[in-house]
Chains A and B, each alone.
Chain A
Amino acid sequence: MALLDVSDLSVVFQRRGEPPFTAVDGVSFSVEPGQTVGLVGESGCGKSVTSLAIMGLLPRRGAVVTGSVRFEGAELLSLSARQMRDRRGRDLGMVFQDPLSSLNPVIAIGLQVTEVLERHRGMPRRQAMVEAADLLDKVGIPDPRRRLDEYPHQLSGGMRQRALIAMALACRPRLLIADEPTTALDVTIQAQILALLAELVRDTGTALIMITHDLGVVAGLCDEVNVLYGGRVVERARRHELFRRPRHPYTHGLLASIPRLDAPRGERLVPIRGSVADNIPWDHGCAFAPRCPNALGTCVEVTPQMDEEDGRLLRCHNPVQENQEVPA
């Protein structure tokens, strides 16, 4: 049985006086224990909203979540707020993009870590402090005992992100969701944090959902990759297959539009035309059609369905053919 099974998850935001907005539109994927799954896409593709919906962190008013999210067989979406609070932190951990805004600025780091331990593992304060120092040490924070008394502003960005990872891991969750954990960090620090996450997954068997816009991060870390566009998964494959042969024109286009460090210089990038604002609604056809170089007449008339072919899922009427090379 999969550790996490998300099926047909949809999130619709409703604000008074405005038409409802579908941020996530029938997303399904599953995560096996110890697996690293990537959700990739540009801003507005619904990747963060998906993770918030799984964690039950969307506001109850204004956001309508439908579908099913099963964690070890138990439905999370029907849990009460209190039951969900028990799960969060214990079974499910989350690391956000901006560590400064996810830490409480007026509470010492030590207290923020021990709070989780006291709440979920019922540890007495003194024992929790020892454990907290251990945790900080484990995520590579030097001199952890001294750090326990410090406040978030006294740590650097990389150290804050490590502290946040320590908090997320405090109760040894079986699933960790990392939402753009390295986007706010410098490349050399990013390399440290990614190595840390990879090590944690390997050593503790925690499953990881990695949410990012950076295909480079995905290439090094994820076992399986979901590419999202306009709130739907448009392509899913294992990472080697996805990068060797991207089939969806959007995945293909993303890869062609990033400047690569190892590519010969002076070659022009091939951008995807238009912007995310040019989407058409999924029920009228393919949302990507207006920007797609491969678009056919049917693309704006018939909604493409998810098709499976040799272990890969693809939502496209006219996928990129084999001989259509990815420009380097």
Chain B
Amino acid sequence: MTSVSPATQKSAADTGVLVAVDDLKVHFPIRRGLILDRTVGYVYAVDGVDLDIRRGETYGLVGESGCGKSTLGRAMLRLVEPTGGRVVFDGVDLSATHGEALRRMRRRMQMVFQDPLSSLDPRQSVESILVEGLRAHGLDRGREATGRRLRELLSAVGLPSTALRKYPHEFSGGQRQRIGIARALTVDPDLVVADEPVSALDVSVQAQVINLLADLQQEFGLTYLVIAHDLAVVRHISDRVGVMYLGGIVEEAGSDELYVQPLHPYTRALLSAVPVPDPVLEDRRERILLTGDLPSPAAPPAGCRFHTRCPWRQPKRCDTERPRLREVAPGHRVACHWAEDIRDGRISPHEVRPELVEEESALVPDTALTGPASVTEVLGP
């Protein structure tokens, strides 16, 4: 990596892994029937994820809606109960931790949500919102100390101390998100999980919050897990990026590496689909248009999850064998049987279904409907 932020230097210094996720699974049961409550299937929201988050780094998790990225974030904090696998936080196995011990651990991992208005209680003043966490963890050391702490926090997130007496509705979207961030920081956490922290904000305000997150990381030595659908945002703030598709990580690399040399076909399609505000580039760009929609996570395709939409799909192996996430270059992991062959151009994208299209050429009709159109269709009678 070329740009070394103080945060990554710090992580190089103690090379500690803060969070280790090992084969994590979250399956939500699909229930039917009023009297006989039977389980008729599962939604495989997270299905076997391994990842490490190093101390002081920003790990970005990207994927489209329904890929399980939010569920993964929540399962890591045990806000949803994992079905299987382990999450080890700073040496402590969270899946074996219960009750008071778990509650104590929670102080060290905080969350920032997407929609600041619905994640802040409209009837609580900002002061009461911020003090709540402190009290819950026994960190409220008298009126004066707490008051000082809150004013410090507010100034760190760029709000005046007069904000303490106001209510969430009195703020703009960007300011509310600052309150949400301040609330996460009150208890002095190690890890902050930010789920779509800027996607509800206007473009000009987005940049303010992104810069703020970077400043706070330096100031407090935080570790971030940033979950977002916007690749440009994730690439901008993350040291390493994991790309998720249908409950699994398909590629993981340093964020520059991922952009320069995406190896998984899905990552390639995703990168090529992001519009860039530059007409010259837009006119020249080759788009890999994926056909169809995301298959239902209740009935994920066998073999490689992506094979139903993959322009590089090869017969047999892709349909039957699920590729493991393997290291193809230092720090670059890919879950694709053919990653090297695709990289070196030994196999080319399909010609039968013209997924690779120039901007000028005609639209590709979705000749193959890949999987059902929605969960409802699978579950329907």
Tell me whether A324 is interfacial, beta carbon within 8 Å: no
Residue of A with least CB distance to B368: A142
Cα–Cα, bound, A255→B279 (Å): 13
Cα–Cα, bound, A326→B111 (Å): 34
Cα–Cα, bound, A51→B204 (Å): 23
Cβ 8 A contact of B202, one of A43, A188, A261, A268: A43
Cα–Cα, bound, A199→B365 (Å): 12
Determine if A219 and B363 form an interchain contact, defined as CB atoms under 8 angstroms apart.
no
Of the listed stretches A13-21, A52-60, A209-217, A309-317, chain B binds A209-217
Q: Which of B203, B357, B365 has the most CB of A within 10 A?
A: B203
Tell me whether B92 is interfacial, beta carbon within 8 Å: no
Contacts of A140 in B (CB 8 A): 363-366
Of the listed stretches A22-30, A170-178, A190-198, A300-308, chain B binds A190-198
Contacts of B374 in A (CB 8 A): 153-156
Contacts of A186 in B (CB 8 A): 64-65, 229, 294
Cβ 8 A contact of A258, one of B172, B203, B280: B203
Cβ 8 A contact of A220, one of B207, B279, B294, B367: B279
Kindly supply a per-residue 1/0 record for chain B positions 220-247, scoring 1 wherever the CB is within 8 Å of any chain A CB and 0 otherwise. Answer: 0000000001011101110000000000
Tell me whether B76 is interfacial, beta carbon within 8 Å: no
Cβ 8 A contact of B277, one of A188, A219, A240: A219
Interface residues in B312-361 by Cβ distance below 8 A to A read 357, 359
Determine if A271 and B289 form an interchain contact, defined as CB atoms under 8 angstroms apart.
no
Tell me whether B256 is interfacial, beta carbon within 8 Å: yes
Determine if A42 and B231 form an interchain contact, defined as CB atoms under 8 angstroms apart.
no
Contacts of A194 in B (CB 8 A): 275
Of the listed stretches B125-133, B148-156, B208-216, chain A binds B208-216
A246 CB, nearest partner CB in chain B, Å = 10
Tell me whether A322 is interfacial, beta carbon within 8 Å: no
Q: Taking A187-B231, A188-B270 as contacts, is the C-beta distance between A269 and B202 under 8 angstroms?
A: no
Of the listed stretches A74-82, A111-119, A122-130, A272-280, chain B binds A272-280
Tell me whether B271 is interfacial, beta carbon within 8 Å: yes
Residue of B with least CB distance to A196: B363
Determine if B207 and A269 form an interchain contact, defined as CB atoms under 8 angstroms apart.
yes
Tell me whether A132 is interfacial, beta carbon within 8 Å: no
- How many chain A residues touch B (Cβ–Cβ < 8 Å)? 61
Determine if A42 and B203 form an interchain contact, defined as CB atoms under 8 angstroms apart.
yes
Cα–Cα, bound, A94→B368 (Å): 28
Determine if A277 and B172 form an interchain contact, defined as CB atoms under 8 angstroms apart.
yes
With contacts defined as CB atoms under 8 Å apart, how many contacts are there between chain A and chain B in the complex? 179
Cα–Cα, bound, A253→B232 (Å): 17
Determine if B277 and A141 form an interchain contact, defined as CB atoms under 8 angstroms apart.
no
Q: Taking A259-B210, A261-B274 as contacts, is the C-beta distance between A243 and B279 under 8 angstroms?
A: yes
Tell me whether A158 is interfacial, beta carbon within 8 Å: yes
Cβ 8 A contact of B204, one of A142, A155, A253, A265: A253
Contacts of B210 in A (CB 8 A): 259, 269
A50 CB, nearest partner CB in chain B, Å = 18
Interface residues in A46-104 by Cβ distance below 8 A to B read none
Residue of B with least CB distance to A141: B366
Tell me whether B290 is interfacial, beta carbon within 8 Å: yes
Tell me whether B100 is interfacial, beta carbon within 8 Å: no
Interface residues in B256-305 by Cβ distance below 8 A to A read 256, 259, 269-283, 287, 289-290, 292-294
Interface residues in A218-251 by Cβ distance below 8 A to B read 218-220, 239-240, 243-244
Determine if B277 and A215 form an interchain contact, defined as CB atoms under 8 angstroms apart.
yes
Cβ 8 A contact of A154, one of B256, B274, B377: B377
Q: Taking A140-B365, A154-B374, A186-B65 as contacts, is the C-beta distance between A269 and B277 under 8 angstroms?
A: no
Known interface pairs A271-B204, A273-B208; 19 further A-B residue pairs with C-beta atoms within 8 A, sorted by A's residue number: A142-B292, A153-B374, A154-B376, A188-B290, A191-B272, A191-B273, A195-B287, A195-B359, A215-B203, A216-B282, A219-B275, A219-B277, A240-B280, A243-B279, A260-B276, A261-B231, A261-B259, A264-B3, A265-B256
